[in-house]
Amino acid sequence: MIERGDGGRDPAVFLSVGVFHTVDARVTCIKRQDRNSSFEGITHLGNQGNWLWTRADVITSIENGSNTFHTLVDGNRGDIGVVDGPNGKYVRTYADGKWNDNLLSLPEC
């Protein structure tokens, strides 16, 4: 794993100089905006004890195809995708043919 400047680890696997292998990273925890915020926004996604990325970094990684992300809860996989909402881009899980808010049920990182 590659250490990031913010202390998290990069889920991408470095193969050789300048070449990365796409990783399907499992998200097990999130960080949320301040509880006084008017909506429940996710600020970071991570894998407990392994890596922690900002939401913006995850969105960029998904959009440029460098990584995919998913959740696995009770044996059910939810692929994480980018949604372009009225207040900008955000991440949601897509499972059973529909977008849902499963990320909000994950524990805090």
Q: How many CB atoms lie within 10 A of CB 76?
A: 11
Q: How many whole angstroms separate alpha carbon 26 and alpha carbon 47? A: 7
Calculate ∠ Cα 18-79-37, nearest 5°. 95
**Residue predicted with more confidence, 96 or 80:** 80
pLDDT band at 87 (very low <50, low <70, confident <90, very high): confident
pTM of structure: 0.76
Q: How many whole angstroms separate alpha carbon 47 and alpha carbon 3? A: 14
Mean pLDDT confidence for 13-34: 73
Alpha-helix runs per DSSP H in 4-99:
55-63
Give residue 44's domain range: 2-105
Query: What's the domain count of the chain?
Result: 1
Averaged confidence pLDDT in the chain = 81
In the predicted model, is pLDDT for residue 30 greater than 70? yes
How confident is the model at residue 16, as a pLDDT? 42
DSSP bridge partners of 92: 81
